[in-house]
Structure 1
């Protein structure tokens, strides 16, 4: 069972043959676990741009009702980027959400947030990320039997820009694959995933670097804050990728095609 925002939905690991056009580390983990046990089921309720309160309202009760054995919970990245955010109140609500999950009997995977190298324009938000990570570690220590901490913050390989998508906020395919491998290792599960070397990194001059940053601010950062001011998100027109438990062993792409076909037939029957 996977809960959260774009990190868990899989944004950055683009795959048009899967729901919402992404795959992500959670799908990769689920696929490997299903190879060990074909009866293993998987649901992913995460949606891009979701803030903590929406995740709590839309996902936690639904997840608990499915009686999961393992739950991944990553929330807070979008809240940290709010221009006006009461971190004390936010962290208290985050802890209350985790307490509910820890009490449901499942093994809970809890994540710190990575200290992304950012443009100076976003530097003030780094302090919030440090405070968030500090609280996450305290919460994990409070529930040693129920919570497994995924200390994403400490994984130095993510300092390499080749692990990130062009928006610099989401992992790319390499980043998601590496995340899946590490989580499978944390779970003690055998797997067949291999992380391919990134190869040589290309250098760019100062003029190229400035031009790239200007383009990044114009194409990604300003539109993101513009959407926030308008009260819209990239996930408004989307639905959870796997809202109903499914069997990854039966083929994710195959099941998505069948779902699309069934919906098309339903639309045709209604219009006819």
Structure 2
């Protein structure tokens, strides 16, 4: 089951229910929306941030949204390439989810990664904008990333401490149990699919205390597979996704090389009936 355009008609209250007029999203593939194809833009990606922006835009006048996130970026690249451009856009709401690509690399230190995040948050918070942070998802459910669960948990505790020090809003993926199910993930087993991004959007709106009518969507039942079929799928996944990922690491390449931000400037959200 997919949500298709089920969130294209967001909740519209009688009066403004949130204070924000300019939302800027910062980060990597998670915030860019990889895994969630945009049906209105062939080859484009939608993602949780677009979904949240649609709801926010429907509730206030003169709302604008920019998304500076680029897939594959490490936290140092996000800090270097996205923080000051985001500040220059004068947001009153800014989200930053960074460090995930660093945490899942062998030998990295979640405390050192968090120190870089705090530098970025300090700069963003100094503008007076509301800052939204994310904890990482609990990886216990996936064999591929289960080994990083401890590092993710340490990083999450740092994120919560940073949020406390800088009065940030926290969107808690670790507690979002519904997405700890591979049916909410794309074929690469790393990025959320449309259902996953939809659930993250619902979580973010709860964290922002914004009323909406996004409903929980149920995935299709898991197909019954034989052991041989399951192993065949694992081998296919390894060839198509794991091996290229490892090769990029060895070559010091990124999936985001030569990729530009999809919404570098704040612009209005255009709904299907917009002219």
TM range (shorter): 0.7 to 0.9
Match of 1:51 among 57, 69, 74: 74
Aligned to 2:120: 97
Unpaired runs of 5+ residues, structure 2, are: 1-23
Aligned to 1:69: 92
Question: Secondary structure of 1:64's match?
Answer: helix
Q: Taking structure 2 as the reference length, what is the TM-score of the superposition?
A: 0.84
Change beyond 3 A, Cα 1:89–1:185:
closer
Determine the C-alpha separation between the residues in 2 that align with 1:188 and 1:90. Answer: 29
Determine the C-alpha separation between the residues in 1 that align with 2:165 and 2:193. Answer: 33
Between Structure 1 and Structure 2, the one with more helix by share is: 1
Question: 1:108 and 2:131 equivalent?
Answer: yes
Change beyond 3 A, Cα 1:253–1:170:
farther
Question: 1:118 and 2:139 equivalent?
Answer: no
Determine the C-alpha separation between the residues in 2 that align with 1:101 and 1:46. Answer: 15
CA contact under 8 A between 2:179 and 2:199: conserved in structure 1?
A: no
CA contact under 8 A between 2:111 and 2:158: conserved in structure 1?
A: no
Q: Taking structure 1 as the reference length, what is the TM-score of the superposition?
A: 0.85
Residue pairs, 1:197-236, within 5 angstroms: 197-236=218-257
Deviation track 1:125-183 (CA, whole Å, cap 9, x = no partner) reads 2322122112111112222xx30111111111012211111111111001111111221
Question: 1:131 and 2:154 equivalent?
Answer: yes
Q: How many aligned residue pairs are there?
A: 251
CA contact under 8 A between 1:6 and 1:46: conserved in structure 2?
A: yes
Question: Secondary structure of 1:153's match?
Answer: coil
> Aligned Cα RMSD in Å?
2.2
Unpaired runs of 5+ residues, structure 1, are: 256-272
Aligned to 2:83: 60
Kindly state the Cα deviation for residue 200 of structure 1 after the two structures are TM-superposed: 2.4
Question: Secondary structure of 1:170's match?
Answer: coil
